[in-house]
């Protein structure tokens, strides 16, 4: 999944005027003392909350989130999952996940959740949210392409912040964003090939 | 020549005596025993590329499978493999290639071939290695393998936290506790509401929120 972050960040930059962002730092996917896979950043699995917060700060710094997204005035908040991994338990987010949550009409009391699974917590005077698109860990490349297409359907072209040219993020189905962004030349879509990563062994 | 059962028993004793797991049996044509005393400096992939594997057709027993699995774990965690995986990181980031899977696939093939599984049997051997947990669990249930359950859980399964989400696409989000960057307690939905009604959104026209969850590694 690591190689997708640059494209995902570009996508978030593009739609910064349309959406807000929430980052949740999870338990480490490949901690040095658990399941190392040669990551250039070596970190032990978090043993306590301050450890997790420190890792989150390092992650956000590595992604240039502060330098890039904050500089652009993106409305976002950085958070960390509980040490009981409550967010992951609810959303199956580990090792990485992104989704778009669309607000529903404001409601004043708790509503039954579609498909079972309990009641949504009441949000006084504010919106409830519906999950409209979620990444699939088994096929992250296609998932990100699908996510880009979904964002395009929701918000249109967005703003080009990648620099130079009229790249059409999310307009070509079946290709990952990287292929699309790297493949658009002179206004013509250049067909590129890509394969989705399989389940990690 | 020692029997496979004796070898397996001795091997288990060695693993107990050497928890760093640098003692390994390797199966070759005569089931001799040797040790690999420092996997950390062994570039196994060079051997995999250049060596001629012994042309031996082998039936993989449960004992062999258990040892193969340990061998795979030891190789995965060796410094040499970690350094190789570090080198392919660049390819992943810049070229968008999922090189990690390629390296692990080659490593598993090397393990299978090291135990005498060759030719058309390699694919079957790989499938056997990747489903070893189930196979060994069944053998244990039949009392054919006297090892603890933990011993044959593959390393990459032991630390795999993947689970089914409770919320699916089209469903309403449910609440969950979170922490802010100062360690204070937050509620997911309240945080979402605040984000949705500020920035590009407003209380009258809340905006969608992209949620991104990940870790440093």
* pLDDT tens digits for range B153-166: 888 888 888 888 88
Of B158, B181, B206, the one marking the end of a domain is B158
Query: Which of A3, A51, A61, A57 is closest to A27 using CA atoms?
Result: A51
The encoded tokens of residue B121 equal 């049997």
* 3-class state of residue B110 by DSSP: helix
A163 CA to chain B: closest CA distance, Å? 18
| Same structural domain, B111 and B143 | yes
Q: What is the pLDDT of residue B19?
A: 55
Tens of pLDDT, residues B183-212: 999 999 999 999 999 888 888 888 999 998
B140 and B181 inside one domain: no
Pairing of strands B209-214, A20-25: parallel
Please report, rounded to a whole number, the percentage of residues in chain B having pLDDT higher than 90.
Answer: 12
For residues B177 and B154, state if they share a domain: no
Distance from CA of B65 to the nearest CA of A (A): 17
**What is the chain A residue with the closest CA to B182?**
A53
| DSSP 8-state code for residue A112 | B
With residue A133 as reference, give the H or E element that holds it.
Answer: strand A129-134
Assigned fold of A2-98: Glutaredoxin (3.40.30)
- What confidence tier does A163 reach under pLDDT thresholds 50, 70, 90? very low
**DSSP H or E stretch at residue B212:** strand B209-214
Q: Is B201 among the domain residues?
A: yes
Q: Which alpha helices (DSSP H) does B18-144 contain, by range? A: 44-50, 62-77, 79-90, 99-114, 121-130, 132-141
- My answer on whether B145 and B175 are in the same domain is no
- The answer to whether residue B205 is domain-embedded is yes
Give the neighbor-by-neighbor strand order of the sheet with A97-103.
A129-134, A97-103, B209-214, A20-25, A76-81, B177-179, B185-187
In a domain, B13, yes or no: yes
Closest CA–CA distance from residue B75 to any residue of chain A (Å): 12
Domain assignment of residue B164, yes or no: no
- Among A102-111, A118-127, A146-155, the minimum mean pLDDT is found in A118-127
> b/e per residue, A78-98, with b = 16+ CB within 10 A?
bbbbbeebbbbbbbbbbbbbb
Contact A97 B214 (CB under 8 A): yes
The answer to whether residue A117 scores a pLDDT higher than 60 is: no
The closest CB to that of B196, out of A20, A59, A74, belongs to A20
Q: Could you tell me if B111 and B189 lie in one domain?
A: no
User: Are residues B121 and B216 located together in one domain of the fold?
Assistant: no
Q: What's the first-to-final CA gap in chain A, in angstroms?
A: 14
- In the numeric block, the tokens 């390819």 are attached to B91
Q: Which two tokens stand for residue B154?
A: 């593959």
Is residue A125 scored above 80 in pLDDT?
no
Running DSSP on this structure, what letter comes out for residue A99?
A: E
* A104 compared with B21, residue with greater pLDDT: A104
State whether B116 and B217 are in the same domain: no
Q: Name the more confident of A164 and B3.
A: B3
Reply yes or no on whether the pLDDT at B213 is more than 50.
yes
Q: Which residue among B158, B182, B206 closes a domain?
A: B158
Q: How far out from the chain centre does Cα B189 lie?
A: 35
Q: Specify the higher pLDDT residue, B167 or A10.
A: B167
Whole-angstrom distance, CA of residue B137 vs CA of residue B148: 10
Structural domain boundaries, residue B215: 171-217
A88 vs B contacts (CB less than 8 Å) = 161, 163, 213
- Taking the C-alpha atoms of residue B213 and residue B191, their distance in angstroms, rounded to an integer, is 14
Tell me, yes or no, whether B23 and B66 share the same domain. yes
What pLDDT shows up at residue B61? 77
Q: Averaged over A144-149, what is the pLDDT?
A: 79
Give the model confidence (pLDDT) of A22-56 as tens digits. 999 999 988 888 888 877 778 899 999 999 999 99
Residues B82 and B147 in one domain: yes
pLDDT of residue A28: 92
Q: Are residues B127 and B29 in the same domain?
A: yes
Residue B86 sits in the same domain as residue B17: yes
- Per the structure, the count of domains in chain B is 2
Asked if pLDDT for residue B109 goes beyond 70, the answer is yes
- Confidence band, pLDDT 50/70/90 cuts, at residue B56: very low
Query: A131 and B168 in contact by Cβ < 8 A?
Result: yes
pLDDT band at A180 (very low <50, low <70, confident <90, very high): very low
The verdict on B95 and B135 lying in the same domain is yes
Rounded Cα distance, A70 and B134, in Å: 48
Last residue of a domain, one of B129, B158, B187: B158
Average confidence score pLDDT of chain A: 68
């Amino acid at each position: 999944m690591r190689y997708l972050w640059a494209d995902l960040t570009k996508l978030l930059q593009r739609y910064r005027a349309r959406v807000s962002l929430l980052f949740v730092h999870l338990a480490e996917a490949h901690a040095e003392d658990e399941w190392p896979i040669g990551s250039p950043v070596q970190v032990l699995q978090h043993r306590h909350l301050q450890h997790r917060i420190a890792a989150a700060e390092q992650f956000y710094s590595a992604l240039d989130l502060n330098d890039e997204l904050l500089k652009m005035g993106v409305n976002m908040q950085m958070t960390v999952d509980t040490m009981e991994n409550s967010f992951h338990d609810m959303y199956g987010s580990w090792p990485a996940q992104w989704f778009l949550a669309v607000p529903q009409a404001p409601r004043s009391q708790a509503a039954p959740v579609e498909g079972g699974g309990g009641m949504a917590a009441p949000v006084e005077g504010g919106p409830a949210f519906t999950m409209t698109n979620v990444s699939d860990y088994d096929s992250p490349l296609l998932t990100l392409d699908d996510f880009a297409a979904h964002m395009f359907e929701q918000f249109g072209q967005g703003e080009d912040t990648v620099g130079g040219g009229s790249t059409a993020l999310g307009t070509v189905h079946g290709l990952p964003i990287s292929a699309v962004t790297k493949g658009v030349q002179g206004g013509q879509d250049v067909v590129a090939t890509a394969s989705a990563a399989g389940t990690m062994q | 020549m020692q029997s496979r059962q004796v070898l397996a028993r001795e091997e288990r004793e060695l693993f107990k005596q050497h928890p760093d797991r640098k003692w390994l049996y390797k199966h070759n044509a005569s089931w001799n025993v040797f040790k690999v005393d420092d996997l950390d400096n062994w570039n196994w992939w060079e051997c995999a590329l250049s060596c001629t594997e012994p042309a031996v057709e082998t039936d993989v027993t449960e004992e062999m499978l258990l040892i193969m699995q340990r061998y795979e774990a030891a190789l995965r965690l060796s410094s040499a493999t970690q350094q190789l995986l570090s080198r392919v990181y660049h390819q992943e980031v810049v070229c968008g290639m999922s090189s990690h899977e390629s390296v692990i696939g080659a490593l598993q093939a090397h393990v299978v071939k090291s135990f005498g599984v060759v030719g058309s049997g390699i694919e079957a051997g790989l499938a056997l290695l990747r489903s070893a947990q189930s196979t060994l669990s069944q053998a244990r249930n039949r009392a054919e393998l006297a090892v603890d359950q933990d011993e044959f859980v593959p390393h990459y399964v032991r630390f795999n936290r993947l689970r089914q989400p409770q919320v699916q696409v089209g469903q309403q989000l449910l609440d969950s506790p979170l922490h802010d960057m100062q360690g204070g307690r937050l509620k997911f939905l309240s945080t979402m509401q605040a984000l949705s009604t500020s920035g590009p959104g407003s209380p009258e026209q809340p905006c969608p929120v992209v949620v991104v969850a990940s870790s440093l590694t």
